[in-house]
Amino acid sequence: MNYRHSFHAGNSADVVKHSLLIALVRALQLKPGALTLIDTHAGCGLYDLGGDEAQRTGEATQGVLRAFADPSPLLDDYRAAVAAVNTGDEPRLYPGSPQILAQLLRPQDCLILNEKHPEDAYTLRGVMRDTRAAVHERDAYELWLAMVPPRTARGVVVVDPPYEQTDERARITATLAAAHRKWAHGVTAIWYPLKDRATHGQWKERLRKLGIPKFLVVEHWLYDSDQPGIYNGAGLFFVNPPYAFTQELPPMLKALRAALAPDGHEGQILSDWLGL
């Protein structure tokens, strides 16, 4: 599955991903110690919802626009992050993870971004020029291993590839195993699209065999059964999520599903510990 950010900016997967990413970082920031935030597949950093690529799919109407119309205060932090890059009441621009992470930085924190595609990396540098972010143009999996453990005592690695390559899941699995050996207490968030339950179940089984003790799975299945040939939802793996984050998760997931559920479909959003 090819999942380039620009075609899907602001869709339901982005709403879930960025809502949970904000909650994760804020839970870690309950302690004053410095954090290093690392984004291995940073993309362009900012997306035009009125642009050709976003308009071609129109997915923002079922994502960020629904979130902005929803009254739940549990989505306030997410809406504020999107509003920060816009001037009107309705979002015209959508912040990628780099922009959202930059908004969360405290003075003691640092942000490391990576984007391999030269054109996207060039755009990313322009978008992030007024922030304290360091931008790299390297292979994502090489950078992931090179940057852990970070110089600060704590940190988060965000892995959000476009899944263009057939071996993407295999590279994630191998790199996660190696990174965990180097940095067993490190926090990692891995985003993935959901196409069908059987294929995804096979990947989860391979990840379960890594034997990582604290491995949380969050999945948003848009429909009650697989819809052949289309995007069926998205999920996140969290390695070593902090307790404060996991405690806040159930009501937030309920609020996200209420805002994003496609009309006329059951579907579900759920969380569970891998291997339990």
Catalytic residues: 160
8 A C-beta contact, residue 276 and residue 229: no
H or E stretch including 188?
Answer: strand 187-194
Instruction: Please list, in sequence order, all residues whose beta carbon lies within 8 angstroms of the beta carbon of residue 121, skipping any fewer than 6 positions away.
Output: 115, 135, 137
| Residue in the block written with tokens 């089984």 | 205
Identify the bridge partners of residue 221 per DSSP, sorted by sequence position.
Answer: 233, 268
27: tokens are 């839970």
CA 273/CA 197 separation, integer angstroms: 17
Amino acid letter, 230: I
CA 44/CA 73 separation, integer angstroms: 29
**Would you put residue 61 in left (φ > 0), alpha (ψ -120 to 50) or beta?**
alpha
